[in-house]
Structure 1
Amino acid sequence: MRKIFILAAALASLSACTDADIASQNLSTAADNFQIVRRIVFYNGITGEYMLSMEGLCSLGNNDKARELTVTCKTGPNAYKKHFLGLSDNVTYFAEQMEAADVSAYHYRVIFKPQAILPDIDFKGDASELTKSHTP
């Protein structure tokens, strides 16, 4: 019975979404997977000058603290750069999507990455410690 209730609640919440809501979420998902080219510009509202501009396959931080922004950009097949930026009363930013993207307005996009379930493990220490006998 509980499963039916959860399924009904999920379907009810999805039915309230508009086509624009679904397309917007799908665009955000694509950008977070480095499939959308963006230009992010930092702007000084007092002087009217652009302070910084980044362009490329960039994802904006989703869980940033207030007055902070992280931008992660894909710079090669397995190369990424992460930028940490502070915002103030007179400094703001805007992100512009540079090209149109083909996303659905009817179906949510879900990306499943099974390799994310098993983490990469980095060993830190001296390998010679593994061969030493530890007798009490």
Structure 2
Amino acid sequence: MKKLLSVLCAALLAITLSGCNDASVASKNLSKAADNFEINRRIVFYNGITGEYMLTIEGLCSRDNDSTSTKLAIVCKVGANEYKKHFLGLSDNVTYFIEQLEPAKASVYHYRVTFKPSVIVPDIEIK
């Protein structure tokens, strides 16, 4: 039974990985590293009409997954357990780009999975 389970898991992993190329695996691993505040980034907001930069954010920053087409949230790690969250409105003449400032190692052979027990079992406050 244990051997059958191992074979099924290996087959599932092979099927999952067969549809991926090196670039997509590296891209996912880099995104995971950025979401864990391991990659320095520069986020620039650009006015397409005036041609000027409106705002620049640099540091260990991640684009928040709750962002929409008209609102963008950027979360930056500024200390050991300190974070800042920036909300920015987007319009038809304001766009942004996120630049990775330094190269980072990313495996094209292994997916990266991060388990955070504090997220699985949240910290509960009683008031």
| Residues in 1 aligned to 2:19 and 2:61: alpha-carbon distance in whole angstroms | 30
Does structure 1 residue 18 correspond to structure 2 residue 21? Answer: yes
Does structure 1 residue 64 correspond to structure 2 residue 79? Answer: no
Give RMSD over aligned pairs. Answer: 1.8
Does structure 1 residue 51 correspond to structure 2 residue 54? Answer: yes
**Amino acid in the other structure paired with 2:54:** M
Query: Superposition pairs for residues 43-122 of structure 1, below 5 Å?
Result: 43-122=46-125
Structure 1 residues 8 and 44: CA distance shift in structure 2, 3 A = same
Mean Cα deviation higher: 72-81 or 55-64: 55-64
Indicate the SS of the match to 1:35. Answer: coil
Deviation at 1:34, TM superposition (A): 0.3
Structure 1 residues 52 and 121: CA distance shift in structure 2, 3 A = same
Deviation at 1:13, TM superposition (A): 3.4
Deviation at 1:101, TM superposition (A): 0.5
State the identity %: 62
| Residues in 2 aligned to 1:115 and 1:70: alpha-carbon distance in whole angstroms | 22
Runs of 5+ consecutive residues of structure 2 not aligned to the other structure: none
Runs of 5+ consecutive residues of structure 1 not aligned to the other structure: 125-136
Alignment-derived partner of residue 130 in structure 1: none
* TM-score relative to the length of structure 1: 0.82
Indicate the SS of the match to 1:83. Answer: strand
**Amino acid in the other structure paired with 1:52:** L
| Residues in 1 aligned to 2:19 and 2:69: alpha-carbon distance in whole angstroms | 29
Indicate the SS of the match to 2:102. Answer: coil
Count of matched residue positions in the alignment of Structure 1 and Structure 2 = 122
Indicate the SS of the match to 1:24. Answer: helix
Structure 1 residues 115 and 17: CA distance shift in structure 2, 3 A = same
Deviation at 1:6, TM superposition (A): 8.3
| Residues in 2 aligned to 1:51 and 1:22: alpha-carbon distance in whole angstroms | 33
